[in-house]
Structure 1
Amino acid sequence: MPIFVLIILLFSQSIFAKTLPATNFQATHNFINKMVKEHQFSKPELLAIFSKVNLIVAEKTQKIVTKKPKLKPMSWDKYRSLFITDTRIKNGVDFWNNNLETLKRAEKKYNVPQEIIVAILGIETNYGHNQGQHPTLETLARLSFGKHRRKKFYKKELEEFLLMSRENDLAPLLIKGSYAGALGYGQFISSSYRYYAVDFDFDGKVDLFSSSADAIGSIANYFDKHQWHDFGAYARPITLTNTQLKQAKSSTNKPKKTAKYWRSKDFNIDHDIDNKTKLAFIKLPQEHKSETWLTFWNFYVLTRYNHDNRYAMTAVQLSSKIKQQFNQTNP
């Protein structure tokens, strides 16, 4: 090793060690060695980068996280009211008009409806306006090397983040996102950025931070890779008996059994639904009474983006309202 590299390495390591508690220093140092060995990163470079990341408060942060009381989930009606607003619908129509050709191209390539892509962007960042102001490297490092119950997951995302930054020639210390490390227009986590993001404006790089075209193509590609059924249905309201209600889940519910099976169990399945169509049932708890819905495969695919049924239903209903307004202004 050249002497000047050795000097830089020792200097960076010294600074790095002084910035961290002993436990964090060892965990972070092990992680750096892993990145050097498995992905051929420069150790002096990583030491220099991590020496600029504040991890000291991680212990306090994780204590707060672990002691946080479990809160009652937000009711469906309140959740929906946060996202399905006149302003967000109007902004969605404006975004659609401003990106019409790109959305048409994404729909043609991936068979994902334009209004669904627009709705997802509206829910996630209000069409790119609220991408997050948390330094992502610091966020992921704190969650990886502290006491968070999902630190194994976040350590993997930290690895993916550094690889994503290198692959797209991005400065890791300058990237900002959500409090949990989600990035860009569509709030992709780093692994999703690497595996599903696409260069949809053909400029030679994948940029989910400033390219609306890349964001549009990437969301469509994400759903396509999760086996989106071309222009398939999402959900229908259904009335269930108390016995049948046991089949309805508040969390993700994957369609596994066919309409024929549910009809044999006396479920009132609409006649136009084919016997072979796989169905599931969900409930969306409100303040006073839960809504119950029959759901199709594409509703389940929407929950691959966010596993909350309320999120998927919001995407469905917001997309419908945006499409209605868009069609009125574009007869």
Structure 2
Amino acid sequence: MKILLLGANGQLGRSFVEDGRLAKMGRLATASRDGRRFDGEAIAAVDLSLPDTLVGALEALRPDVIVNAAAYTAVDRAEQEESLATRINGEAVGLLGQWAHQHGALVVHFSTDYVFDGLAAAAYRTSDPTGPLSAYGRSKLAGERALAASGADHMVFRTAWVYAAHGHNFLRTMLRLGGTRDVLDVVSDQHGAPTSTDVIVEGTFIALKAWSDADAVRRNSMRGIHHLVASGVTTWHGFAEAIFAAAGERRMLDRTPEVRAIDTARFPTPARRPAWSVLDNRDMVEHFGYRPPAWQDALGRVMDRLAAA
């Protein structure tokens, strides 16, 4: 089995590479926008904003499985670059699906809680109506729809509040700021489940294994959208407090800053964020037998790696 991983230098793509299990499933090819990987290896150059590079790579590599970890993720900048965000997150995903449909390949794609309006009072199911508030959310929803319309075999994993021990994310920002500031103001009226890339990689691997072992009837039930986030719920303020508590336990900071709770109105951003980003995970249990860990446990494992680095 040939597997193509797009976006190998991104937060999620790098986690797939470092985890190593995709490479054990079959022949793994990785790709990045500039043709270089984070570890210096020369790899395929694929830029989702340039469709010719995408189609050319697919024709050259002929993968059986395409894992698309590439995306436009600059949420606020997307308000001024919606056409670019849509080209990468929407149109390019449709091209992946069209090629996969023509060649009998499977597409694994990652989407976001931002496809919802955040007005729910209970965890969002995969069947709940969408209503993105931002250009980024609209671009990701366009990708979901384009992939479904392509007719390709596909699994879409919606996730939220993603972080890792590497890359640009809330966890690393808090640790950086916490080392220089006595007080931090963090939003406390947005709710979700902080999800480490470990959780996403684990869930994706289990789903791919289930797909490879299933017959046609079983595969049909696996197609479509799934929610893949850590279990539980907190706020950005709660997440920040947990980060600093974990850092203190591991003696990663000389001091622990005060974390003050503020409302979203006091921290305006160009893109509107959903106030409620809680996604229902039961689908992962029902279809793949995977119950994502509590967000606190997943955070602890990432903090252990950072403390040991």
TM-score for both structures, normalised by structure 2: 0.23
- Of structures 1 and 2, the larger Rg is shown by 1
Which of the two has greater strand per residue?
2
TM-score for both structures, normalised by structure 1: 0.22
Which of the two has greater helix per residue?
1
